[in-house]
Structure 1
Amino acid sequence: MKPSKLYSNRPSVFAPVEFEPELNVVLAEIRLPENRDRDTHNLGKTTLGRLLDFGFLAGRNAKFFLFKHLDRFEEFVFFLEIELLDGSYVTVRRSVAEASKVSFKKHVSRHQDFSTLSDLEWDHVDVPFDRAKALLDSLLDWRALKPWHFRKGLGYFLRSQEDFRDVFQLSKFANSHADWKPFLAHILGFDAELITKHYEKEATLKENEQKAATIRQELGGEIEDAGKIDGLLLLKRQEVAKKQELLDSFDFRSQDKADTKQLVDQVDERIAALNQRRYSLTQNKKKIITSIEEDQILFNPEDASELFREAGVLFTGQIKRDFQQLISFNKAITDERRDYLIEERAEIESELKSINNELNALGKRRSEMLAYLSSTDTFAKYKHFSSELVKLRADIEGLERQREFVHRLQQLRTDIRTLAEEKTHLQAAIEADVEAKNVDGGSLFSRIRLFFNEIVEDVIDQKALLSVTVNQYGHLDFRAELLDDAGNATSADRGFSYKKLLCIAFDLALLRAHLDDAFPRFAFHDGVFESLDDRKKENLLAVIRSYTTLGIQSIITLIDSDLPSDGYEEAVFDATEVVVLLHDEGDHGRLFKMKAW
């Protein structure tokens, strides 16, 4: 449940790190004055956490320093000794060159050195990576994480600098919320199965909605009523049967009679109706054009004034103004009427164009039918019917495909309604579960939030609230906030130093609440005291020490300038607590005793 030892096959370059069950300090001393004001020193305190992650079978990543600088590390083999729940140990061997092959050995004594052990003496040798992860998962036996893999939440207990940006969403959780929120809900004590099912229903619902939209697009505005399509198919099939019967009997008299009736009752009648409508529209168009041309005001006050002046009659002042206003009024009315007339003319022209197109098609059809009826060539009629039969069957095939689409669309609509209803029920169940766990003072979540507040209050004398709510979409929202004296959330948690404190408090509270479970018992926190003032550093160290007495191993990294200034190094940590001492006086002071990369 805790890292016990980290070492390599090259101890002269990477010295063994033997971890204590309680507090472990990785201390970097900045001894050269010119390095005091530098933000980074590349001594390796952060690298230690990455190596632990490598030992816990982190996946291969080209950006990971071991693989990014393969020319430097290709010959390294790392060994991670881990204490298990029953007090025994397992050592994991993993090389950089063959990182996908892992070996394991169980043993009862701590701080062993298996770097020279032959392959025959290992319990499992060069196990493929996926199987190795499954094997380590069973050996660690962190049952409280099930059904998730042991690596799922490892980032909460191996916090890198990138993982201090958000209390809940680790840097490895950069993908969808469905990937990590159910897991986080689980370790906080909520019903993760409900949340997982809700995300699954949501994803299936979205997928079905996209499929339905695609089918509607493929139908392109065609018939979406299966009943109407079935009716059309019935008629088409009946027509096919009749034509096939005619072809088989080679007797086209009945069809001639039907075509004659269709020509008279439908085609000719439709042509006559369209011609009548075209005549009416043409007359209306002519009247509109005439009206547009006649809508002009011919009276001109200036001409009238000149005429009246020549006649010796006064036409000025109010009379002239009244005429001008009357003309302006009539002009406004005329312009509005003209707009309506122009719009009506455009509609008439559009309809006339449509009528002309239909008349042309009907005329062509009428000619073809007359030619067919007047023909005495039986084989020509046979050929004609065969062609129509092929077309009918093509129509039937198209309607059947369309019916399949429509039936699929109808089924999708049914599925969408069912999924939406099930999603709503799941959301209600999630809300009920969250409310119950919030109200229950003895729930796992209530204990975690109490421990969380206790840690923050002990460090900065300010209350903190851990909250979980259900948003309008049925998803969980996790919040960690500092509170003022009135119990209102403040913006103090937005600062990096306080954000880091909230992350540390959350991790420790999580570990403490799961002390009775098969759960990790360690936490690695990089740069634990950065940006805090001396008093808060002392308070945080006191909290960390108190948690180690509960059985929680703490591995912290810091530089000596982050130590409380009112004490010396020896007064802050015992010699046994400093498991790695780094410094900037040459390469031998680095974690890897080589030049920086």
Structure 2
Amino acid sequence: MRLSKIYMNHSHIFESITFNDGFNVIFGKVISSKDKNTHNLGKSILAQVIDYCLGKKKDSMFFQNLDQFNEFVFFLEIEYAKDQFVTVSRSVSEPTTMRFKYHYLAEQDYRGLLDSEWDKTLPFEQSKELLDSLLNFQFIKGYSYRQFIGYLLRTQNDFQDPFRLSTHRGKDIYWKPFLAKLLGFDDELLKKRGSLIDNLNKLSEQEHFISLQNKTDAQSVSDIEGEIELIKLKIQDFKTQLDELDFGNQDKEEIAALVDLINDQIVALNDELFYLENDRKRIKNSLRTKKISFSTNEAQSLFNEAGLVFPKQIKRSFDDLIQFNEAINKERIEYLSKELKEIEPKIQNISEELIKLNKEKSSKLSFLNEKNVFDKYKSLSQDVNEKTARLIYLEQIRDIIYQGEEIKKQKSLLSSELESIENQIRDNVTQNVKSDSNSIFTKIRAYFGSIIQKTLNDDAFLSVNVNSKGNIEFEYKFTEKEAHKGHSYKKLLCIAFDMALARAYTEQGYCIFLYHDGVFESLDDRVKEKLLAVIREYSEYGLQQIITLIDADIPNGIEDFIHKDEVIRILHDKDSSGLLFKMTPW
């Protein structure tokens, strides 16, 4: 995949950029102020626009919340095979749709194309699938080209680690298998290892949960089965004792008649007591009735204060009414008090009779306990119930322990399988890192070491190992242990790694581009010159390289540091005409 051209529907805002097959430079000049922020030029934003056209999600783009970009439609012309091009169109307002036009000549302009004239108009996910098929990166078969893009197009946020990109968040399983595949190792082994570890972790969680359910001292199948057997024997013994109890000497019919008679009397008395107590409660509530609180004298005073006349006839009528009511209440209270006096003795008598009957009932039944038959029956029944409940609980615990044993068995099998997979990973790594293996990794390692030697005059190499936990590790190492730990040299290591990767696969016939933003920032001047020489060298190998830099990055003011034919776009901050997007900065 090479980039051929990028343009937009509004050419007065975004001028089209045509890419060289080899080396390309986006050059920024700071004219108005050397202290001004150069990011406003747009040289870094170009990488995001290219990435957007290649299927990056809009929600991670710089313009996702900027309304002034809603009318923009970007076009990216790609050479996906020798003399075979496809132009990808993607608008800001419709990010979930992409359009495709196939053609055999470069530098086409499809801004005026009608919707029906595009060869393909596809939803977002299908668009990425189409690009996958066109680019046909067989060396990462099974993975999306989007995962490869991160090593081809690096912005300032991606120079922290050659191997782990800023998008590689989360567990190792999310990115290490792909990188292993990219470097020529068996990624399927890493996937299997990750899956086995996930399954083992899930089993461990289940095992822990099961262990919390077991509240007994039994920790094994043998323990629990032994205790269950003892419980069963005890239950059987109790049942045998129950069967041997003799109730034959008791006159059951006589006992039943006696108990029924007493119970009938108790029930009748309880009913009568209930009604008497309700009557007593009703009478007491009636005796609490409040007197009339209306006073004609107080009413007379209120009328006088209000300047009104309170008629004497009305006052006399109210006084008569109050006197009449008081007379009625007096008679009523006398009647209720008399009724209450009659009820109280009855309640007392019935209560005493109930006590007597209950004692008599207890006395009549006492002979049934002469040999503690019923006490023993009650005790044995309780023992049986308790042991049965314990048995049920232990059988549940037994099921839990069996589940735990099954989990241990599964863990053992998975652990054995994991150990086998990790040994296979070690064998695969050993086989591919051998200097005489002629593997893709040894080529990438050699190219990486050569780039570092040419730029830093130091010996460095890529190292892939399997750690003590069976996990694959990707590292770079210098022969001088303390060498080059700063951020600027990490950037150089990232660039070297990308170039080594790209060269190895370019030699296999693939068209590959690299985009490195701010490639010379913070590097020593001598390193800049050496790195530029290597970039030009690698461009001769068929690798398309795109870099961005500003005039302040040019070492020692060398005028011809960058050749004119290498510069595909010059940006400046004199006015908006020099910006990537010729519009007011946002």
Residues 132-281 of structure 1 mapped to structure 2, 5 A cutoff: 132-233=127-228, 252-254=242-244
Matches within 5 A, 1:494-505: 494-505=485-496
Could you tell me how far 1:252 is from its partner in structure 2? 4.7
Tell me whether 229-238 or 176-185 shows the greater mean CA deviation. 229-238
1:519 offset after TM fit, Å? 4.8
Matches within 5 A, 1:45-56: 45-56=43-54
Could you tell me which amino acid in structure 2 is paired with residue 254 of structure 1?
E
Instruction: Give how far 1:373 is off.
Output: 6.5
1:269 aligned residue: none
2:552 corresponds to 1:552: no
Task: Trace 1:62-81 onto structure 2 (pairs within 5 A).
Answer: 64-69=61-66, 71-81=67-77
Other-structure match for 1:42? 40
CA RMSD of aligned residues (A): 2.8
What TM-score, normalized by structure 2, do the two folds share? 0.73
Q: What secondary structure sits across from 2:63 in the alignment?
A: helix
Paired position in structure 1 for 2:347: none
AA aligned opposite 2:512: R
Q: Describe the shift of the 1:28–1:371 C-alpha distance in structure 2 as closer, same or farther (beyond 3 A).
A: farther
Output one character per residue of 1:132-168: Cα deviation in whole Å (capped at 9) or x when no partner. Answer: 2222211211111112111112111101111111111
Q: Does the 8 A contact of 1:30 with 1:584 survive in 2?
A: yes
After superposition, what is the alpha-carbon deviation per residue over 1:409-453, rounded to whole angstroms, capped at 9, x for unaligned?
101111222222222222222222222222233222111111111
- Report how far residue 233 of structure 1 moved: 4.6
Relative to structure 1, the CA distance from residue 180 to residue 255 in structure 2 (aligned partners, 3 Å threshold; closer, same or farther) is farther
Q: Is the 8 A contact 2:245 2:373 kept in 1?
A: no
Q: How does 1:171-570 map to 2 (within 5 A)?
A: 171-233=166-228, 252-254=242-244, 374-375=372-373, 394-441=389-436, 442-483=438-479, 488-492=480-484, 494-517=485-508, 519=510, 521-568=512-559
- Counterpart AA for 2:55: L
- Aligned-residue offset at 1:102: 2.0
Percent identical:
37
1:323 aligns to what?
A: none
Instruction: Kindly name which structure, 1 or 2, has the bigger radius of gyration based on alpha carbons.
Output: 2
Q: CA deviation at 1:523?
A: 0.4
Q: Distance in 2 between matches of 1:372 and 1:388?
A: 22
Give the structure-1-normalised TM-score.
Answer: 0.72
For 1:470, give the aligned amino acid. Answer: V
- Residues 3 and 77 in structure 2, CA contact (< 8 A), matched pair in contact too: yes
Q: In the alignment, what sits opposite 1:104?
A: 100
Alpha-carbon distance in structure 1 between the residues aligned to 2:118 and 2:57? 22
Cα gap change, 1:372 to 1:215, in 2 (>3 Å): farther
- Separation (CA, whole Å) in 2 of partners of 1:425 and 1:512: 34
Q: CA separation in 1, counterparts of 2:502 and 2:245?
A: 89
Tell me the SS of whatever aligns to 2:41: coil
Matched AA of 2:520: F
Over 3 Å counting, the alpha-carbon distance change for 1:255 and 1:576 in structure 2 is farther
**Distance change >3 Å, CA 81–CA 394, structure 1 → 2:** farther
Cα drift, residue 507 of structure 1: 0.5
Note if contact 1:141-1:518 (Cα within 8 Å) is conserved in structure 2: no
Q: 1:233 to 1:106 in 2, by over 3 A?
A: farther
Residues 1:406 and 1:371: Cα distance change in structure 2 (over 3 Å) = farther
Whether 1:5 and 2:5 are equivalent positions in the alignment is yes
Give the CA deviation at 1:4.
1.6
Cα deviation per residue 1:184-231 (whole Å; 9 max; x = unaligned)? 121112222222222222222222122211211221354232244345
**Residues in 2 aligned to 1:225 and 1:373: alpha-carbon distance in whole angstroms:** 45
The aligned residue for residue 87 of structure 1 is 83
Aligned in 2, Cα 1:389/1:138: closer, same or farther, shift over 3 Å? farther
5+ long unaligned stretches in structure 2: 248-367
How many residues are aligned here? 465
Q: Deviations for 1:527-580, whole angstroms, at most 9, x for unmatched residues? A: 111123333222212211111111110000000121233532xx3344342112
For 2:426, give the aligned amino acid: E
Q: Return 5+ residue gaps in structure 1 as ranges.
A: 258-369
Seen in structure 2, the aligned counterparts of structure 1 residues 228 and 560 have a Cα distance that, compared at 3 Å, is same
Tell me which amino acid in the other structure corresponds to 2:13. V
CA contact (8 A) 1:25 1:579 kept: yes
Contact preservation (8 Å) 2:83, 2:105: no
State the one-letter code of the partner of 1:54: Y
The aligned residue for residue 31 of structure 1 is 31
* Paired AA for residue 170 in structure 1: L
Contact 1:82/1:89 (<8 A) preserved: yes
